[in-house]
Amino acid sequence: MKTYLKRAAFFFRYAWLFSLFINLTLLLSPLYMLQVYDRVLASRSLPTLAMLTLGVSLGYLVYIGLETLRSRILVQAGLALDEMLSSRVMDVLFERAAQIGGERHAGSIRDVAVLRQYLTGNGLFAFFDAPWGLAFLAIIFVIHWALGVTALLGMAILVLMTFIDDRRTRPMLQEANLQSRESGRYLDGALRNAEVIKAMGMRANVVARWSGRNARVMATQAGASDRAGVIVASSKGVRQLLQTAMLGLGAYLVITQNLSSGTMIAATILLGKATAPLELAIGGWKGFVEARAAYGRLDAILKLPQDAPTAVQLPDPVGALAVDRVVFGAASGQPPILKGVSFALAPGECLAVIGPSAAGKSTLVRVLLGLWRPQSGTVRLDGASLADWPSHLIGPHIGYLPQEIELLSGTVAENIARMSYAEQASEAIVKAAKTAGAHEMILKLPQGYDTEIGETGQKLSGGQKQRIGLARALFGQPRYVVLDEPNSNLDKEGEEALVDAIRVLKGLGTTLIFVTHKPSLVKHADKVLVLESGNVLAFGPREAVLAKLQLPSASAAASRGGDIE
């Protein structure tokens, strides 16, 4: 975070420079009062009053311009910081969200917004104006030491109250923010499963659970607000009492002929200018605490270790895959999910991965794609570890169809083109759809390829999403394709289209891996890998593996419509 703040430092330097002249213009009011009381009223000179008023008015026009410019500079600083941070944070979020437990960083984009809003708001002005508050205090000391001591004591009390406010409310505000995030994640998950919740009458239970979480958030926030309210109310009382003390002491000094009436008024006004930064700090303390917490969270995730891809750009992959003794576990202290998985595929070979539920098939898929880094062992594509391939370079050569299809908000064409749709990509989009057997289906949609599918593809059926997802996986003729249960939502027509797509991919020399329980797909594989409890039970040519397992041949099983596990 320090690096990004340094990049935007010149904005803050200009804002500080404007703060210098802004605070100098704030001296106009006490000087005006001093001259009016001590000279104009004594001399009864209207020309002097007119010239003083004109001069001060012009000065305040300058003040308005400077304040406007300072605000605009800070807005630009916030925008620049947001632009620099958002893309970097999004990269980290996508990288970590693909890992187990990565969802804990899901609120980081909101943290960027919180930091930007604080930097562009009035709360930051307190830090720019604080040194000038001390300058105004020094001027009060010059006017009279007794007034300076009174102002200093009052300001010290306000600083102490701000410190107490921070110590009393910060832990509760942090706890409330954490609880609010957890409550929001719970509600998001519930809304994603709204159909299941409604169909099985779970709504009352879900609402009750969320209400309990929300009540804890409200109680924590209310406690923090109650504590802060006492400090804020006390600080307001102290400021009013301080103004009264300054005015009373000034009147005493005037009566004893140690001060003029104009100087008394000027000192009282200067007190208000000196305490203004403290008032801003107290009023915006909650925002400061939230911004500081957001800064800490952003700093933490930006410091997370990142993969360091090779500086040498590797050639486009051919599709030779080598998996060497891969071990992967979801959590430390728990038995690994994959236990020394090894196999190899030549370019253009087709592998079917089968096995019972919870055998580790979907985990293996994610490791084979480089989404999850194994604890030991390597996955190499054309001899290079997948970790050495920058995702933006290797991604176009990989096709992936996950078990749970997630499409993005946009048109069918944009989703197939991996959200980079342009007119020049139309031919490739149609080609991918035809290869996936989805072209005719897409044409029957209301606007064909330009049909908006809605958020997560909610306007499409499960089978339609799966076929469009397959077209997306095949876009650009990737050399390495991995399909996880590609026919789980397909009807007979869809399965036939999938089989045709597998034949086309094999004809193109694409290295293909698919996970399935269906013998209608297994019979199209060159090799079969059998997983059981994370171990490779068998690997080799299809018929040899099925014979070794004493299973019926894929073609015979397919004729009976059975599953292979």
d(CA 318, CA 382): 7
Q: So what's the pLDDT on residue 560?
A: 45
Q: Which residues of the chain have pLDDT under 70?
A: 93-108, 121, 123, 192, 195, 304-313, 330-333, 387-388, 421-424, 455-458, 550-565
Per-residue model confidence (pLDDT) at position 408:
82
Q: Are strands 535-541 and 527-532 parallel, antiparallel or unpaired?
A: antiparallel
Amino acid sitting at position 406: E
Structure tokens at 102: 């990565």
What's the confidence (pLDDT) of residue 350? 92
- The reported pLDDT for the residue numbered 482 is 92
CA 296 to chain centre: 14
Structure tokens at 325: 């003794």
Phi–psi pair at 537, nearest 5 degrees: -80, -35
Predicted pLDDT of residue 360: 86
Do the Cβ atoms of 416 and 468 come closer than 8 Å? yes
**pLDDT of the residue at 52:** 83
Q: Which residues contact 6 (CB under 8 A, 6 or more apart)?
A: none
Give every CB contact of residue 9 below 8 A, 6+ residues apart in sequence. none
SS3 state of residue 456 = helix
pTM tops 0.75, yes or no: no
Q: 3-class DSSP state for residue 564? A: coil
**Rg, C-alpha atoms of the chain:** 35
Q: Of 526, 165, 119, 91, which Cα lies nearest the Cα of 321?
A: 526
Q: What is the pLDDT of residue 512?
A: 92
What pLDDT is recorded for position 239?
A: 79
